[in-house]
Amino acid sequence: MKFTIVERKVEIPDELREYALRKVEKLDRYFQKDSTATITFSELRGRQTVEITVSHGGIIFRAEETTTDMFASVDGAISSIERQIRKNKTRLEKRLREGAFDKASQPEQLEYSEEEYEVVRHKKFTVKPMSVDEAILQMNLLGHQFFFFQNSDDGNAHAVIYKRAAGGYGLIESE
């Protein structure tokens, strides 16, 4: 597994870095060799946030934990990713390492029911080319949290504008 550590507005001590790497390495038992992990440490309004993103063969697992202690945040994010993997194990077995779900490798046995993904609403609408500012205005006028549009500033590529929980707006663009 390849690791990337990102520090945003915070410097972390070496012992926390080593602790996080040890914890994320334990996830390696589920994946084959071509997986990557990004660990992002940040601080916002006095709260310590750790975001862990693990990517393997086009599947992305992401967990974010915010506490007053970075070590606790790392533990919470790791357990959240393990929960995601165990919950979806039947769907993921073909893509993960052979024997990843053997009883010997699981510290605790939790039963998860297989849930169906059910689309409960279909909606079609005309996508119009507009600038990012126009899309933000339209989203706010509709009172939505996100808005799908064609970005006229970027050659009419499909894009989504959304309100961020930390304030401001985010833009997701297609390549």
Q: Which of 114, 112, 107 is nearest to 27 (CA)?
A: 107
- Residue 86 is classified by DSSP as H
Return per-residue pLDDT of the chain as tens, 175 residues. 788 999 988 889 999 999 999 998 888 887 767 788 999 999 877 788 999 988 877 778 888 998 888 899 999 999 988 888 777 766 666 555 555 554 444 445 545 555 677 888 888 878 889 999 988 888 887 778 999 999 998 888 999 999 998 889 999 998 8
In the numeric block, the tokens 């401001």 are attached to 168
d(CA 124, CA 110): 40
The C-alpha angle 118, 96, 93, rounded to 5 degrees, equals: 50
Q: What is the pTM of this model?
A: 0.59
| 3-class DSSP state of 152 | helix
Amino acid letter, residue 161: I
For the beta carbon of residue 20, count every other beta carbon within 10 angstroms.
25
Rg over CA atoms, the chain? 20
| 3-class DSSP state of 61 | strand
